[in-house]
Chains A and B, each alone.
Chain A
Amino acid sequence: MHLDEVAKRVRRDVIQMIMHSQSGHPGGALGAAELLSVLYFKTMRHRPEEPNWEGRDQFVLSNGHICSAMYSCLARSGYFNTQELLTFRKINSRLQGHPSRHDLPGVETASGPLGQGLSIANGMALGMRLAGIDRKVYCLVGDGEMQEGQIWEACMTSPQYKLNNLVLIVSWNDIQIDGTVTQVKNLDPLSTKLEAFGWHVLKIDGHDISDIETAFAEADRIKNKPTAIIAKTILGKGVSYMENKSEWHGKAPSIEESLRALKEIGTSEFQADLVAE
């Protein structure tokens, strides 16, 4: 199965989950579909039937609000039944509005309060090294989230400990709730900043499957320093009326809007839909 089809499936799930609960954050989730599809269906070693397998790679979703996309990947790779995706954000669900580690298998850490993920990922990478386990931690952060101070504390920690078993992925869509990142509190030039902090930095198209695969492969070859992948993404990617619109950071589309979104995303050959259109 081509990963583009998997990404399309993730997008369809994201829309259907958020439509169903009439609550959630579609923009960033749609924008991360390719990144997460490559991680869960190609790059990461993991065992859905044995979530705590010691030899697994670990994924930390620092920008926890886009968890609908991660939940889709977890369900589609077998951590739990795909129909459970429709309980997203509802009462008594394991699929909390922001990830809860002890509720759902496959969630490595809670997240949502921004800026915390990289520190936790660093700790996991240090733990792996101390335990003599040769695996990797992948940490996805949003660009707006990098306005948090803690991220920069953590950005100093990873190179200090030469964590070459850690990959930071920045989803760079230049959108945050109050406007563009450039307007609100500019991060540019991010690659120069991260390089100055001691990171190996790559810039890629976050929607190009082969770009993403190549970047993860390159990260595997880097010694003595952590790798940061700045992935240019489009908020709301795949749904024309959402693309690059900050209002779609945390708003659910109506039923009509959702159906239009599904139509634009197109059908996926990878597994069946959650609900019949």
Chain B
Amino acid sequence: MALESGRDGFGKALLELGETNSKVVALSADLTESIRAHWFAEKYPHRFFQMGVAEQDMIGTSAGLALSGFIPFATTFAVFAAQRAQEQIRMAVCYNRSNVKIAVSHGGLTVGEDGATHQGLEDIAVMRVLPEMTVLVPADSEEARLATLAAAEWDGPVYLRLGRTPTPVVTENADPFQIGKARILAEGNDVTIVACGIMVNAALQAREMLEKEGVAARVLDMHTIKPLDQEALLKAAVETKCMVTAEEHSVIGGLGGAVTEFLSAEQPIPILRVGTQDTFGESGTPDELLEKYHLTPDAIKKACQKVVQSK
């Protein structure tokens, strides 16, 4: 199977939008090709704005364009949008309810050799906490493509987090993509694995391993961290009575944070969170990093075995 990254799916969708939606414009902060906005930039140069190495300015400019009726996709790396420009996103985008789409690559550890400074591991948390914000973390290139198209149709701010590393497509046969609606990739009633981003693939692999041991795991592709699909979570909590979350992000404040916050109030069950444990990353190959920081199918499997015991 040909491997593709989330950013590749984004770049394709942006190019499609260039053709289908004349309101769509794109901005870049000197990382145009890295986020795959260059295909759009080459074909629609008058709708592409190079902002230079100035993310805060890019977010403000995007807000101004949105307030003028356009649908800007502001692109850079996760850390530089969500964290460098967080306050600009808070006021100019969210408080203004301006229709800006913030599309970032380099979310997570699989950034690889660039190391901790460039590995976005807290971005979901700081975007999710903002009122008015919608947070999308697609699982693969095809879902990234669909999420991008959906984001353009969505009325309001969106944070679209994409990975850098090519991965297999795992959502080919899933239900139609809809913001706020989890996709059930596998059924099972012993435990539910709620995953986002590249950890969806890891969750499916963990499921296969568990199956051999007689444990049937349900796998939810929670591509929308906010608004959370409460219905799917409640149903899974009632039916499987325990849960594991998996994300390429800190266990604090991200998918795991969102799921535990919700279920602790509505349907308390044992939940374990797989993610980085309140730590920065480091240099290494993507696979080495995932192994070292326990973001693997095996880590998910072990968490499932443990959580099933505590039911």
Contact = CB atoms under 8 A, between A and B. Distances in A.
Interface residues of B, number: 30
Q: Which 7 A-B pairs have the closest CB atoms?
A: A123-B64, A119-B60, A127-B68, A153-B57, A153-B54, A123-B61, A124-B64
Interface stretch (A101-109, A169-177, A196-204): A101-109
A109 B96 CA distance: 6
Q: Is the interface of B mostly helix, strand, loop or mixed?
A: helix
Given A116-B88, A123-B65, A154 B96 contact: no
B61 A126 contact: yes
Interface in B93-133: 95-97
A276 interface: no
A2 to B, nearest CB: 33
Interface in A82-140: 100-102, 108-113, 116-128, 130-131
A132 to B, nearest CB: 11
Interface of B: 25, 46-47, 49, 51-52, 54, 56-70, 72, 87-88, 91-92, 95-97
B68 A109 contact: no
A62 to B, nearest CB: 10
Contacts of B72: 123
19 contacts: A109-B64, A109-B67, A109-B92, A116-B56, A118-B60, A119-B57, A119-B58, A120-B61, A120-B67, A122-B57, A123-B65, A124-B64, A126-B61, A127-B65, A130-B25, A150-B54, A156-B52, A157-B51, A157-B52
Contact of A119 (B52, B56, B68, B96): B56
A127 B57 contact: no
A130 B46 contact: yes
B52 to A, nearest CB: 7
Interface residues of A, number: 32
Given A153-B54, A161-B49, 15 more contacts: A101-B97, A102-B96, A108-B67, A112-B91, A119-B58, A119-B64, A123-B63, A123-B66, A126-B64, A127-B64, A127-B68, A130-B46, A131-B68, A150-B56, A157-B51
B258 to A, nearest CB: 25
A120 B64 contact: yes
A118 B61 CA distance: 8
Nearest to B64: A123
Nearest to A107: B96
A127 B60 contact: no
A100 B54 contact: no
A149 interface: yes
Contacts of B88: 116, 119, 150
A119 B96 CA distance: 14
Interface in A39-55: none
B64 A157 contact: no
B225 to A, nearest CB: 24
A112 B87 CA distance: 12
A122 B52 CA distance: 14
Contacts of A126: 49, 61, 64-65, 68
A113 B91 contact: yes
A154 B57 CA distance: 6
A117 B63 CA distance: 10
B59 A119 contact: yes
A120 B60 contact: yes
Given A119-B60, A154-B57, A157-B51, A127 B70 contact: yes
Contacts of A154: 57, 60-61
A57 to B, nearest CB: 13
Given A130-B47, A157-B51, A122 B61 contact: yes
A277 B87 CA distance: 42
B67 A123 contact: yes
A122 B62 CA distance: 9
A119 B70 contact: no
Interface in A132-172: 149-150, 153-154, 156-157, 160-161
A100 B91 CA distance: 10
